Structure 1
């Protein structure tokens, strides 16, 4: 693994990498490269990363905590706490005008949010191809690697002004459900999403470096993030987010349950280990085993999985905030494996059958839904290493 990961640094494909493998009580962590292109500050084990959509499993876990506390119910319509989403209407056809609608067959439920079957999310088409995409972009609701800029109440009001793309429960549509879920959690708890996360998950698990922004005293540990440069003559990569003045240098207007957190490899390991342990941490517990089992079970029908293949890939379904392997077509896709990637260059999955957690942290944005080479080579190396060790 060291040689393979080091190759990505030497070729300039990513400035730096942190890898972590945890299995059967043993943890191996390695840092490669620098925090910035051409910089002199090396990557380290405690480097902070924008984990983007690796936030989604944490948001789902927070929702299930509130279910266990009796503050939410899986089959309950969200209308009570999110009146902005009551009385939904649905587009007659994706390519049609946004005022050509029919009434929704039923309300959106918490289960719909957790499984991304609320009826709206990323449209798998080039940006701006359909009227609903253009309207979402105009309202600041278009999902992307940078969290929304509107405050939660305004964001959900804007979302409520749009029709759904599918009937609730009908189809899997990525991302938006987690941002809606974050607002629902905050309203159900009567606290900010940050407070819910910290009091119920981060503090009990010792995740002291995880949050929605980086305090000034820790900014030196946050590297710049990069994206592919549109002009190769100016270099392969360009800065996406500057740590000193960028989006994560201050508290956000919108704490995004879909992609707003920063974390470290060790902090995220604490969350993954809790999930592998059936919700338990030491002598206490964060979630019941039943909740973890529900979260890590595929909830999509074969038809829904087929329609989601461009994003999920083959032989993967969706649980609550995580993808779930349901078949094996690669040495890394063992049935029961669960987790998710982050669009700013991170990956975290757990394999209950191997008692395994793997975490990859980089700071380069993904160019497409297809995992980049560094992801694929990391996971291949993980499984090759454990089988060679056995």
Structure 2
């Protein structure tokens, strides 16, 4: 596995290249990192996007759809699963920065039908940081419509005192997105597609892919290479529903690296999502984003994205006051649906960010190792003496 770290050996040579040579070398670095991953996990197609010192670079591999052999391009639409969560969090933070809500509001303030239930007293911050008391990873199968959704939330009983444990949960951050949309007076998909995506310059990102964009929508694939797309579910749009391309996702990463060109309200929203609210081991939980000190070892970054962090409740320490990102931090988020696997990270102090989109759900550890190899190579190149 660690053989994929070989691109680090080329970092100094990369730094000494001319612009044209550097572009070719970067292509080689990405090829050397991504092609073995695709071969090992039988991934039909991948799109890689890198932002390095403000410059965008795109690298495309394989097939978006096996049936018609359509190649992956920077415009191919991928499901990004839980990598949607930082976008949901950005919408909620925008609702705060425009005065529609505050993260200290209680859920019951924005959904009066919850009154009388324990969840009514959970704060919106609790929901966005998975610390409301133990909401599960997924809804039970019985939650299939708005009535059963409300009934589930009303009868739910916490396993822990709010703010003491983090348990990663789609029903938790999904409810944050739902309540943020209620506060803004429009359906969640309309706000994402009509307000947030345009404000971020994400011109081809969707909750519901329009008919004219369907030819660009990749198929995901099972282990047996059967075509898959995400199955609709309650609050799926809010928790894991974004379909986007490498170009748009890199725009989102660049907005997080350098938000200066955005509206003041959106700049504030991005700062809210990058703020640290809880410490869970070596990871600091922001709103959507998960943060680590940088530099960081590969092993620590993989541990923070391990199955245990997804499936088990972890003790959480509240940061009071909340901790705005220190200068040297790495932010990241994984995302998966049945047929897709995504990963994104960025390091503001190094002006580095990258996105990996694939139409197969392959292990998080492999995604992180590939991204880490590219990150370290580019970081080393940036810091090499001239």
**TM-score where L is the length of structure 1:** 0.75
Residue of structure 2 in register with 1:210 after alignment: 205
The yes-or-no answer on 1:139 pairing with 2:142 is yes
Shift of 1:86: 3.0
Pairing 1:1-390 to 2, within 5 Å after superposition: 1-11=30-40, 13-37=42-66, 39-89=68-118, 107-122=121-136, 136-140=139-143, 150-151=145-146, 154-175=148-169, 176-228=171-223, 235=224, 237-241=225-229, 247=231, 254=235, 256-278=237-259, 280-281=260-261, 284-289=263-268, 291-301=269-279, 305-306=280-281, 315-326=282-293, 328-330=295-297, 335-343=328-336, 344-366=340-362, 371-388=364-381, 390=384
Q: Describe the superposition over 1:80-102 as per-residue Cα deviations: whole angstroms up to 9, x where unpaired.
A: 2123433334xxxxxxxxxxxxx
Q: Describe the superposition over 1:48-82 as per-residue Cα deviations: whole angstroms up to 9, x where unpaired.
A: 01011111111111111111221101212121212
Contact kept in structure 2, 1:76 and 1:110, CA below 8 Å: yes
Q: Which has the higher contact order (CA 8 A, sep 6+)?
A: 2
Greater helix share, 1 or 2? 2
Runs of 4+ more than 6 Å apart:
none
Contact kept in structure 2, 1:156 and 1:180, CA below 8 Å: no
Indicate the SS of the match to 1:339. Answer: strand
Contact kept in structure 2, 1:119 and 1:167, CA below 8 Å: yes
Q: Describe the superposition over 1:191-215 as per-residue Cα deviations: whole angstroms up to 9, x where unpaired.
A: 0112222343211222121111211
Contact kept in structure 2, 1:63 and 1:185, CA below 8 Å: yes
Q: Describe the superposition over 1:139-178 as per-residue Cα deviations: whole angstroms up to 9, x where unpaired.
A: 23xxxxxxxx534x64233222222232222211112221
Q: CA–CA distance in 2 between the matches of 1:328 and 1:196?
A: 36
Shift of 1:339: 2.8
What is the alpha-carbon root mean square deviation over aligned residues? 2.7
Q: Which runs of 5+ in 2 are unaligned?
A: 1-29, 302-326
Q: 1:297 to 1:326 in 2, by over 3 A?
A: farther
- When structure 1 is superposed on structure 2, of 153-162 and 203-212 the one drifting more is 153-162
Q: CA–CA distance in 2 between the matches of 1:355 and 1:199?
A: 29
Indicate the SS of the match to 2:329. Answer: coil
Q: Which runs of 5+ in 1 are unaligned?
A: 90-103, 124-132, 141-148, 229-234, 307-314
**TM-score where L is the length of structure 2:** 0.76
Q: CA–CA distance in 1 between the matches of 2:193 and 2:68?
A: 33
Shift of 1:46: 0.4
Contact kept in structure 2, 1:5 and 1:374, CA below 8 Å: no
Shift of 1:18: 0.5
Indicate the SS of the match to 1:300. Answer: strand
Shift of 1:217: 1.4
Q: 1:386 to 1:287 in 2, by over 3 A?
A: same
